[in-house]
Amino acid sequence: MDIKNIVCSLNDKVRTPFYLYDEKVILENINRLNDVFCKKNFGVLYAMKANSNPYILKLVKNAEMGIDACSVEEVKIALICGFSPESIYYNADCLNSDEIDFAVERNVNLVIGSLDALYYLVKKHSGHELSLRLNSGIGAGHSSKVITNGELSKFGINFSDIPEAIRLCKNGGLKIVGIHSHTGSGEMGIASYVENANVMLDISLQFDSLRFINFGGGFGYDYKDHQEYDIDSLSENIRQLSSARGAKDNIRLIVEPGRYLVANTAILVSKVCSVKESSSRNFLGLDTGHNHFPRCFYYDAWHDIENISTLSNEMISYDITGYLCQSGDIFARQRLLPKTKVGDLICIKDVGAYGYSMSSNFNSRVRPGEYLVDTEDNFSMIRRPECFEDIISTFNLD
Ligand SMILES: *Cc1c(COP(=O)(O)O)cnc(C)c1O
């Protein structure tokens, strides 16, 4: 999509800030994953926490991928969007009994990451099938906050507890049909992913009724240099390891990327509200903040930022800031942009993953709307902007 043309043709009809998605790019990502992973005994789940907009979920469903859900709410959304219970994998460590009961009643796949949940299942749902989330010790990620294996990780059952988990399930009439392990999020190299897969294939030999091994998500996206994440070589490595280990042909090999499907599919369009220039530092203030797009604030993440309004050739170094009452609300420091004025439109790019899905109402601000350009270049709203009434809808004013 030609962002500039489309945004400029909206001609102020859509209030800034707003998310704008490109359906063509979403479909390209989905098709590429399906080309590489849906052959033979591979399967793909979409980790919907990256972006749970129903329009995107519909595209995922049409491509016959399943869902990795990490909350009861996500399970419910996936069901509403038409995913069958068998295609939904509910993966969480801190499950309360209501959540376990719900998953069992709805017959979605349970991925259990703690012995405590197993104790409960043995007591209440004997005869049920489940899979185990394991902490293989091999973690990776773009930030320490998103590494999910290893000694410091809260996720999964430790390898040393596997015998206890197997014993519990055997005695309690639970059938372990899968094992799962997720190294972490967003690392560009594939070495840790492959190493983890190797360890999981090894450990799978301890289980006698497995139908699948889930190697997790975490496929990287290179926000700065835009190098490709090598899913071809990743799938080839897993394929080779799996045959070298003598894994049975009827065991499905599952991957569950989130970011990979959506990272490059959206921009956040905002408007410049203030320009402060001084001899030492120049600030551009936008009409959005980390409440709408938190990755820069949480992870110091780099995102390309473009001024799509100006034709100026004069380049200036700006700190690009959000509108929140918090000094850390900065999207980028000392970024070169053409000389910018109040009213210019600024696009923050590659915001499709962990953007809207991590947004909040901090400062009692409303969330923006989400819009999409479809494959025929039609523009539509796929989520309305919030309004003030949404903010106060949960208040008890009596
Ligand atoms: C977050 C998460 C994913 C997806 O991670 P990405 O980095 O977005 O691919 C997959 N599986 C599990 C268990 C997760 O927690």
pLDDT in tens, 262-306: 999 999 999 999 999 999 999 999 999 999 999 999 999 999 999
Asked if the model's pLDDT at residue 247 lies above 80, the reply is: no
Residues written for the chain: 398
DSSP per-residue codes, 59-120: HHHHTT-EEEE-SHHHHHHHHHTT--GGGEEEEESS--HHHHHHHHHHTPEEEE--HHHHHH
pLDDT in tens, 58-82: 999 999 999 999 999 999 999 999 9
pLDDT in tens, 214-241: 999 999 999 999 999 999 999 999 999 9
Query: Which residues sit with their C-beta closer than 6 Å to ligand 1?
Result: 47, 49-50, 68, 70, 91, 182, 185-186, 216-219, 256-260
pLDDT bucket at 255, cuts 50 / 70 / 90? very high
Ligand 1 mutation pick, 68, 153, 351, max ligand atoms within 8 A of CB:
68
CA of 285 to the centre of ligand 1 (A): 32
Asked if the model's pLDDT at residue 1 lies above 70, the reply is: no
Inter-residue contact 233 to 190 (CB < 8 Å):
yes
Cite the active site residues.
325
What percent of the chain shows pLDDT beyond 90? 85
Task: Please state whether the predicted TM-score (pTM) of the whole model is above 0.85.
Answer: yes
DSSP per-residue codes, 181-214: ---BS-BS-SHHHHHHHHHHHHHGGG-SS-SEEE
